Amino acid sequence: MERVAVLDFETTGLSPDMGDRPTEIAIVLVEGGRIVDRFQSLMNPGRRIPAFITDLTGISNAMVATAPSVGQVMRDAARFIGALPVVAHNASFDRKFWQAELQRLALDANSPFACTMLLARRLYPECTSHKLGVLVDALQLPRPGRAHRAMVDAEMASHLWCRIGADVARRYGVTDVSHALLSRAQATPRVRLERLFSQQCQAA
């Protein structure tokens, strides 16, 4: 499979439009069905982390007090990803923080995003929930640690992405899985998932 960057943010809240900022980012590069590189950093959001967020993520104000600034980390993250397509679970959440922070830095924020949650809803309708942890357990994928830490979630999403690729290849007889999952082109009717994935990217 083509190299992609699987991304996860932890943040101070739900929306950059409400002043929320990232507290942690993790990026896992995946190629050929395996993890080939990683990037992770805490960052100082410049505002307090609410107690309920600390309870959820385990990231405290003390932990980010001496962390590098959001701007510094996001510049490094943007260099790490480069021009790669980005994958995330519930991509609409991660994409809005990615775009908001890169726009603050006057950097290109137009990376194409794919959503494993939207794909999983179509591929695994039998799952009772399509939250990342539930899918990982239902599909018996590796769970490397505590959920709601960026690297753990990015690695789980990476394993899910690889599983989706394998299942698409098996179910649809696709030889170029990367093209089927990442391209928005609708030129080959033999692959129904190309159209499906185009819809996912637009909806994410």
- Residue 184 banded pLDDT, cuts 50, 70, 90: very low
Task: With a cut of 80, say whether residue 74 has pLDDT above it.
Answer: yes
pLDDT top residue among 183 and 44: 44
pLDDT of 177 > 90? The answer is no
Q: Which pLDDT does position 199 carry in this prediction?
A: 45
- What residue spans define the domains of the chain? 4-203
Cα–Cα separations (whole angstroms), residue 131 to 90, 105, 143: 9, 31, 14
113-122, 138-147, 174-183: segment of lowest average pLDDT: 174-183
Residue 178 CA to residue 122 CA, distance in Å, equals: 17
Specify the pTM: 0.87
Among 40, 6, 1, which Cα is nearest to 117's?
6
Q: Which pLDDT band holds residue 179 (cuts at 50, 70, 90)?
A: low
Mean pLDDT for the stretch of residues 128-157: 93
Structure tokens at 173: 């007889």
Separation of alpha carbons 53 and 32, rounded Å: 35
What is the Cβ-side half-sphere exposure of residue 155, based on CA atoms within 13 angstroms? 16
What pLDDT, on the 0 to 100 scale, is given for residue 204? 43
- pLDDT digits 0-9 by tens, 101-139: 999 999 999 888 989 998 899 899 999 999 999 999 999
Burial class of residue 17, CB neighbours in 10 A (0-12, 13-18, 19+): exposed
Q: 3-class secondary structure for 24-59?
A: EEEEEEEECCEEEEEEEEECECCCCCCHHHHHHHCC
Residue 60 and residue 75: Cα distance in Å, rounded?
23
| Predicted local confidence at residue 45, as pLDDT | 98
CA 62 to chain centre: 26
Q: What is the CATH number of domain 4-203?
A: 3.30.420.10
